[in-house]
A and B are shown apart, each in its own frame.
Chain A
Amino acid sequence: AQTVTQSQPEMSVQEAETVTLSCTYDTSESDYYLFWYKQPPSRQMILVIRQEAYKQQNATENRFSVNFQKAAKSFSLKISDSQLGDAAMYFCAYRPYNNNDMRFGAGTRLTVKP
């Protein structure tokens, strides 16, 4: 069974600084997708970034980037130039290539200090 582990229940960062959120996963599949979702206090989850396992290049979306280490089954999220609006729960998620059963980690609550 695929599992997703986020070992940091809470993280904090100073505004304008950089923070990295950790995620590891366990799978025997070779093709899959990885995601980071943001869940602000309003509770609607929003996709932040997506990585296809077959791509070696790390995905980047503006201030958000990932460090995807396939052999280590690690998928960390880096937020650069943190903003107050980045404060939220962040969920790492895994989805196999051939079905829609998405597995989420327990989440990391990010606090941004002004």
Chain B
Amino acid sequence: EPEVTQTPSHQVTQMGQEVILRCVPISNHLYFYWYRQILGQKVEFLVSFYNNEISEKSEIFDDQFSVERPDGSNFTLKIRSTKLEDSAMYFCASSEAAGQRYEQYFGPGTRLTVT
């Protein structure tokens, strides 16, 4: 069964550094998402992406964050100048098409630790 994959599984970075989290969505999916889960807290929506554009973003997704689909398979989340409070699990998800009845498939997550 196709799966969403994410790399790396764990990323450690120093405060102020830039990180890029990578995701490979399911191949025929057209919508892509990023979520984060700070330890012990809720999963929070960050952004959705369709047709090479951001379609929705939350208040969390400020200028520090950017997303990109650099090629036909990868979907990346870049965090510039990381802060301690960016430490979290970051989940990528993808769905087959537009429309709310389409299930979002989640990746296993990348644990980001900012020191």
Contacts and interface: CB of A to CB of B under 8 A. Distances in A.
A45 B6 CA distance: 13
Contacts of B100: 33, 95-98, 100
Contacts of A36: none
A79 to B, nearest CB: 20
| Cβ-closest 9 pairs across A and B | A104-B43, A100-B48, A45-B106, A44-B108, A101-B45, A104-B42, A33-B100, A106-B42, A43-B109
Which of the four size classes fits the interface of chain A?
Answer: 20 to 34
Interface of A: 33, 37, 42-47, 50, 52, 91, 93, 95-107
Contact of A102 (B45, B89, B108): B45
Contacts, number: 51
Given A99-B56, A101-B56, A33 B101 contact: yes
Interface string B103-115: 1111111000000
B73 interface: no
Contacts of B101: 33, 50, 52
B81 interface: no
Nearest to B43: A104
A44 B107 contact: yes
A105 B43 CA distance: 8
A103 B33 CA distance: 13
Contacts of A102: 35, 45, 104
Contacts of B105: 47
Contacts of B43: 45, 91, 93, 104
6 contacts: A42-B108, A43-B109, A45-B106, A99-B56, A100-B56, A104-B43
B103 to A, nearest CB: 5
A99 B98 CA distance: 9
